[in-house]
Amino acid sequence: MARTTLALLLAVTACGRLDDVDFTRSATLTIPGTPGGGPSGAIGGFAPIDLGGQEALRAQGIDPNDIDSAHLRRLHLEVREGASLETWLDDLVLRARADGLPAVVVAEKHGVRALPAGTRALDLDVHGDVDLKPYLTGQSPTLGIEATGAPPASNTTVEITATIRVDVNVTGLLR
């Protein structure tokens, strides 16, 4: 038994972080267009991204009780149909939310209008130091989206994809 445990420990050490699992959630949203554009300010149409909570974790084979921590690794925004981002979007801020927890900024991008013409995809600046474990395992977890700019001239469909690295406790496997 001791040799089996030692071999497993050596394998875990040699292979890197076997206890890290990437958990991905995506949402497709349509931002209503305003012919001729509209006034600058808050842009509507960005519904929160449902993180799925404990049920989504279990569907990925992750027991919520075994999570040590969870950190946003990447947040990607891509236009699927409609106007390129720099023509209508100024700033984008995403906040993790769950019932009973304070909203916390996890990703943002400022100055989108300064990007090159035809920008249809971008990665947001991620606050990787925020531990999302209490949000993922809490009640009604979402990523709330706040956008500023001027509405696009035509309906624009975007896809937002969040990749969260979940550190799973594997000590139970070593017993």
DSSP type of residue 40: S
Token readout for 98 is 């769950």
* Residue 167's pLDDT band (cuts 50, 70, 90): very high
- Domain ranges in the chain are 19-174
Closest CA to 165 of 25, 9, 13: 25
DSSP type of residue 158: E
As a whole number, mean pLDDT of residues 27-34 equals: 92
Report the pLDDT value the prediction gives residue 45, as an integer from 0 to 100: 77
Closest CA to 55 of 141, 116, 132, 131: 141
Give the SS3 label for residue 54.
helix
Report the pLDDT value the prediction gives residue 1, as an integer from 0 to 100: 43
Domain boundaries 19-174, CATH class? mainly beta
Report the pLDDT value the prediction gives residue 173, as an integer from 0 to 100: 46
pTM of the model: 0.82
Average pLDDT over the chain, rounded to an integer: 86
pLDDT by residue (tens digit) across 95-153?
999 999 999 999 999 999 999 999 999 999 999 999 999 999 999 999 999 999 999 99
**Are the C-beta atoms of residues 69 and 120 closer than 8 Å to each other?**
no
